[in-house]
Structure 1
Amino acid sequence: MYQALKPSRSSTLVLRRLNYHVRHWGPEESALPPLVLLHGWMDVSASYQFTVDALQQERRIIAPDWRGFGLSGCAQADHYFFADYLADLDLLLDHHAPGQAVDLVGHSMGGNVAMMYAGVRPERVRRLVNLEGFGLPATQPAQAPARYAQWIAEIKQLHQGDKTLKRYASAADVARRLMKTNPRLAQDKAQWLAQHWARPNAQGQWEILGDPAHKVASAQLFRVDEALALYAQITAPVLAIEAGSDSLGQWWNGRYRLDEYHQRLTHVRDCRTAVVQDAGHMLHHDQPAQVAQCIERFLNEAHAARP
């Protein structure tokens, strides 16, 4: 099994009536700005361990488990609203980095949260790294009736027990599941992640650390015009890192393309892109050293440029 070079420590913060689990690496005090790592959908903060191990500089690192994921509490509801992640992040930073502008890194859903948050609270973000946080395909208002109907139907399915997360006989089975989803994931890393991505229940079955309510579709459509308005308010320099395999095109099958994503990024006043080769959507698992190098080079350039 993978051996972490920089073991994390945990704390719990009562935030908006939820027990929020936060993972920490590095010293409590550092001359460098805090580095905040935001994980993706159906993932956990421990997902960043391999990248953290590859970072060269010692600095304070903070990584929450989003509400309803990992070791954080679940929302007292049967669905989740995306805006809650923005409020959670703001309160988290108020507690762990009061009065400071942080360096923000987000993967997938976490990357989308980071981009939106940086538009809402530009003064709180010094630099931003977006790891495959592409957003969603454009929608039209005419899709709203069907989306609300879908939302209601999926809430009913959840209460009927039709929306559940698969259980596994052992941690080894969880690891095999992770490797099936991501064929590039090495076995030692899969075995390590399985211990953090799931846990055994009272019957000895391993359950994914995610609230099934996350599987309920959003009632609101993704509105590109709103996303672009937020992008335009970002004052921090942005580095958008994507995998060489074009996971966006593979996932959406023509409904949303990489060139469309790149066009959206032109609304960010200071944005550059980078590509990590031989990697898929979980690029921080596939090529953690490359990802760490890209992040660190970007953050250090900014730090050196300031008096």
Structure 2
Amino acid sequence: MQATPYLARRPHQSQFLTLRGLRHHVLSWGQPQPGRPSLVMLHGWMDVGASFQFVVDALQQDRHVVAMDWRGFGLTDSSGADSYWFPDYLGDLDALLDAVSPEAAVDLLGHSMGGNVVMSYAGVRPARIRRLVNLEGFGLPETIPAQAPGRLTQWLDELKQQPQLKTYGSLQAVAERLMKTNPRLSPAKAAWLAPHWSREIDGAWHILGDAAHKRSNPVLYRKAEILATWARIQAPTLWVEGDSTDMTKWWGDRYPRADFEARLAVVPSVRSVTLKDAGHMLHHDQPEELAEALAAFLG
């Protein structure tokens, strides 16, 4: 039996902005308020901006909130290229802030991949950020130059293949997929997310993500460059994680927790919060507790 979808307390408004030549889907809640910064939220890999609806509903004070579907996700155009490049996310974010808050600094929040983007952005555009929030944007394991030939070979081999994303026979099947990925997600929330996360084409439900995102990145992740960027962050920073998140599930022993703690230590001002009974999708698992942490930090 299909669940009744979650009822949003503060329904979002959708608009489309052309940023760097691509049509970006931008969601907003409320209106800009003089003297109060907008809160800009950026989602993670294989997610969409609507993913933040539950947290926005849990905020006790109505404020202007903006979320964007990254290029190649949700209703935003795909890049049209055969691979996606991390610097493009920084460029898209820069253009978004030019459009929605050209004069005033914003409060900036990112989850997972989005958390990594906002950390880098806050280091290269420090004056544009008043407060910074990173929801489990851990970064990636360190690499060494000797890995470059193999990575490039892997990328070239993948270019000869057409990546595919699985399709589903119904919205209910999409909702079940979301709950399989995150067992803490309630049927009502999954039913609400499913039509924002997929669309029907010729009788099948397709995930709103460009399959090209699955290709390996030929450019190695360079820890030294990340540390140099994070060290330039000026905004007070809030790090939030779930108590059930296990980094070893993603990287095994290639990325020890102590390595991440050392990276975070270079950020000048950090406050850390751990949410109970929450995993990587903590904004779905504990939106009320996350909203409380945001209220206390953002002021």
User: Equivalent residue for 1:187?
Assistant: 187
Shift of 1:246: 2.7
User: Equivalent residue for 2:22?
Assistant: 18
User: Equivalent residue for 1:168?
Assistant: 168
Contact 1:116–1:231 (CA under 8 A) maintained in structure 2: yes
Secondary structure in 1 matching 2:80: coil
Shift of 1:179: 0.5
CA separation of 1:30 and 1:59: change in aligned 2, threshold 3 A? farther
User: Equivalent residue for 1:102?
Assistant: 106
User: Equivalent residue for 1:304?
Assistant: none
Measure, in 1, the Cα distance between the counterparts of 2:129 and 2:32.
19
Structure 2: where are the runs of 5+ without partners?
none
User: Equivalent residue for 2:213?
Assistant: 214
Contact 1:44–1:196 (CA under 8 A) maintained in structure 2: yes
Q: For 1:26-77, what per-residue CA distance to the aligned partner results, in whole angstroms no more than 9, with x for missing partners?
A: 1243532010000000000000000000001111111110000000001021
Q: Does 1:150 align with 2:154?
A: yes
Measure, in 1, the Cα distance between the counterparts of 2:51 and 2:237.
22
Secondary structure in 1 matching 2:161: helix
Measure, in 1, the Cα distance between the counterparts of 2:151 and 2:66.
35
The TM-score with structure 1 as length reference comes to: 0.94
What aligned pairs does 1:266-281 form with structure 2 within 5 A after superposition?
266-281=265-280
User: Equivalent residue for 1:303?
Assistant: none
Q: For 1:123-171, what per-residue CA distance to the aligned partner results, in whole angstroms no more than 9, with x for missing partners?
A: 011110100000000011100000111111111112xxxx101000000
Q: Does 1:121 align with 2:120?
A: no
What amino acid does structure 2 have at the position aligned with 1:233? R
Secondary structure in 2 matching 1:267: coil
User: Equivalent residue for 2:250?
Assistant: 251
Alignment length (residue pairs): 295
Measure, in 1, the Cα distance between the counterparts of 2:249 and 2:213.
22
Measure, in 2, the Cα distance between the counterparts of 1:246 and 1:67.
27
Measure, in 1, the Cα distance between the counterparts of 2:132 and 2:42.
11
Contact 1:246–1:258 (CA under 8 A) maintained in structure 2: no
Contact 2:43–2:110 (CA under 8 A) maintained in structure 1: yes
Shift of 1:288: 0.5
Task: Name the stretch that deviates more: 189-198 or 24-33.
Answer: 24-33
What amino acid does structure 1 have at the position aligned with 2:239? A
Structure 1: where are the runs of 5+ without partners?
301-307
User: Equivalent residue for 2:57?
Assistant: 53
User: Equivalent residue for 2:240?
Assistant: 241
What amino acid does structure 1 have at the position aligned with 2:50? A
User: Which of 8, 11, 24 in structure 1 is aligned with 2:12?
Assistant: 8
Measure, in 2, the Cα distance between the counterparts of 1:17 and 1:117.
20
Secondary structure in 1 matching 2:267: coil
What amino acid does structure 2 have at the position aligned with 1:196? H
Shift of 1:220: 0.5
Q: Does 1:39 align with 2:43?
A: yes
Task: Name the stretch that deviates more: 138-147 or 254-263.
Answer: 254-263
User: Equivalent residue for 2:198?
Assistant: 198
Q: For 1:100-125, what per-residue CA distance to the aligned partner results, in whole angstroms no more than 9, with x for missing partners?
A: 11000100000000000000100011
Measure, in 2, the Cα distance between the counterparts of 1:157 and 1:79.
12
User: Equivalent residue for 1:305?
Assistant: none
- Indicate the RMSD between aligned Cα atoms, in angstroms: 0.9
Q: For 1:174-219, what per-residue CA distance to the aligned partner results, in whole angstroms no more than 9, with x for missing partners?
A: 0000001111111100111101000101x11000000011111111
Contact 2:166–2:206 (CA under 8 A) maintained in structure 1: yes
What aligned pairs does 1:285-296 form with structure 2 within 5 A after superposition?
285-296=284-295
Contact 2:245–2:278 (CA under 8 A) maintained in structure 1: no
Measure, in 2, the Cα distance between the counterparts of 1:68 and 1:208.
11
Measure, in 1, the Cα distance between the counterparts of 2:246 and 2:239.
14
Measure, in 1, the Cα distance between the counterparts of 2:260 and 2:34.
35
Measure, in 1, the Cα distance between the counterparts of 2:264 and 2:154.
30
Contact 2:197–2:208 (CA under 8 A) maintained in structure 1: yes
What amino acid does structure 2 have at the position aligned with 1:178? L
Measure, in 2, the Cα distance between the counterparts of 1:216 and 1:21.
23
What amino acid does structure 1 have at the position aligned with 2:195? Q
**Percentage of identical aligned residues:** 56
Shift of 1:277: 1.1
